Amino acid sequence: MASIRESLRSVSSSSNPASKSRPTSALRKRLSLDLLTLSPTSSIATTSSVTSSPKNNTRPELVSYLEELTRNLSGFPQTEPDNLPQDLDELEGIINYHLSQLGQLRIEIAQHNETIDKLAVTSSPENLNDTAQKLHVRVQGARNARNLLSRFLKFHLLEIGRIVELKWKITGKKEFPEIYKSLPTYNDLRDMFEA
């Protein structure tokens, strides 16, 4: 079994730097609507061992919301997702892990944004073009480092969506208000990656 370090090394070697994309006004309008009015979109893969399905076949709104929220975030190359356990307590623990990682990512992104802001207001001495170019490269490097974190943000959000969908298939429960409280909003994402 490969170590975590080897796994990260193989993922980072196959990934490209994240590009900054601007959300469309249609997406902005759609995400600003009440979450309950969002229509389901494409399905998220879950483990194939789930044989029972809930009586109501419409997916939880949270899953659709997470797909819409992450649509403009760059992601990792498609890989086989981890098999999820069928035990609800284990699933709850995995959701808590992903939620805590989202919190940590918010902190890291805020730190990068602070660095970007400080570097952006730094003025280089007059008539020193090379110095000004180097400062610009530092600002762009900080942006690139911050934007790379969008891949991890998308991963954790979509994993939460997979788990919610599996919990729905097991229990038939479609509402997860406790998870909504911990998720970033569209405006949060825009603010994180705007600078």
pLDDT bin (cut points 50, 70, 90) of residue 55 is: low
Summarize pLDDT for 145-175 with one digit per residue, the tens: 999 999 999 999 999 999 999 999 999 988 8
* pLDDT at res. 158: 94
CA distance 195 to 184: 17
Half-sphere exposure at residue 104, Cβ-oriented, CA atoms within 13 angstroms: 8
CA distance 111 to 140: 15
Q: Is the pLDDT of residue 39 over 50?
A: no
| Contacts for 170 with CB less than 8 Å, ≥ 6 apart | 50, 52, 86, 88
Q: Is the pLDDT of residue 17 over 50?
A: no
CA nearest to 69, candidates 157, 169, 134, 131: 157
Tell me the average pLDDT across 113-131: 89
* pLDDT at res. 44: 37
Strands (E), the chain: none
